[in-house]
Amino acid sequence: MAEPPESYRINDEPDQVRREQDRLRMLSRVADGRTHRALTDVGIAPGWHCCDIGSGAGLIAAWMADQVGPSGRVVSLDVDTRFQAPSAGVIEVRTVDVTCDSIGDNEFDVVHARAVLQHLAQREAVLDSMIRAAKPGGWVVVSDVDWIQYDAQPVPEPFGTLSRVLRELSSSQHGYDGTWGRMLVGALGARGLSDVNGRGEVWTMRGGTDSAEWYVAALDRALDVVPAEVFPPGFDPRAAIAQAREPEFAILSPISVTAWGRKPGR
């Protein structure tokens, strides 16, 4: 079997960049409301210093900037910052690899990451870095998904095979952890954070809509770089993508888990 590429990171081809920009905006429309609610729950307010990790299109950073106002500060971090506007106003955009670069030290009132840690083999160390970057009394807010109930439902074929094979490949080659969502509350509590809480949500993923396309588009893009040999003989991954874009396609999403806790010391 041919080895998959080292990374699925977006290359410089204009079509790849456009497709990922579109996908990030779909994800924003699906997930930003939950993120806004969690950040509101921990009390984001004028004057706060905030850090958004894996900021993608930069839309959460922009929302944070609206909340903290001109007396606040927002640092927007991503390993690839092509998909967001450059630094402006209270927003500072930094190109950072959080697996090896510093996030900060006792610097932020809230440090947030969504759909980041589960993709990183170094997730435990990055979570430690997030806590280190928070001020004493500051908040750490993390969101990731858990696939346990998604996999327990009857996912239609051939899409079920496509989803399973590509997640297994990502786990074996890149350290992806599809169970990380259920670990978040315990991971924050084990690190001594106080006021730890969490929330999980599921929605219906409908073919051809943002509710499913945030995920389907990522699988579609992966097919440009994943070798055909990773699939069972005779399997047609493009047919699976087409199936998930039909209007009658409807399955439950993975569980989106958000957890938060306060750093001791204030």
**Confidence (pLDDT) at 4:** 32
Is the confidence at residue 114, as pLDDT, over 90?
Answer: yes
- pLDDT tier, 148 (very low <50, low <70, confident <90, very high otherwise): very high
Give domain status of residue 5, yes or no.
no
Give domain status of residue 1, yes or no.
no
**Confidence (pLDDT) at 9:** 56
Is the confidence at residue 10, as pLDDT, over 70?
Answer: no
Domain CATH for 70: 3.40.50.150
pTM of the predicted protein model: 0.93
Give domain status of residue 9, yes or no.
no
Give domain status of residue 8, yes or no.
no
Residue 155 to residue 202: CA distance in whole angstroms: 15
Residue 162 to residue 240: CA distance in whole angstroms: 7
Tokens of 202: 């599921």
Residues 6+ apart with CB under 8 A from 62: 85, 91
**Confidence (pLDDT) at 259:** 98
Give domain status of residue 2, yes or no.
no
Q: Worst-scoring range by mean pLDDT, 21-30, 57-66, 187-196, 236-245?
A: 21-30
**Residue reference for tokens 């998909």:** 83
Range of the domain at 171: 14-262
Give domain status of residue 256, yes or no.
yes
Q: What is the mean pLDDT of residues 110-134?
A: 97
Q: How far is CA 205 from CA 94, 160, 214, 250, in A?
A: 33, 13, 10, 5
- pLDDT tier, 3 (very low <50, low <70, confident <90, very high otherwise): very low
**Confidence (pLDDT) at 6:** 36
* Structural domains counted in the chain: 1
Residue 151 to residue 78: CA distance in whole angstroms: 30
- Give tens-digit pLDDT for 154-213: 999 999 999 999 999 999 999 999 999 999 999 999 999 999 999 999 999 999 999 999
Give domain status of residue 144, yes or no.
yes
- Give tens-digit pLDDT for 14-34: 777 778 888 888 989 999 999
Residues 6+ apart with CB under 8 A from 35: 60, 112, 114, 143, 258
DSSP string covering 64-133: HHHHH-TT-EEEEEES--TTSPPPBTTEEEEE--TTTS---SS-EEEEEEES-GGG-TTHHHHHHHHHHH
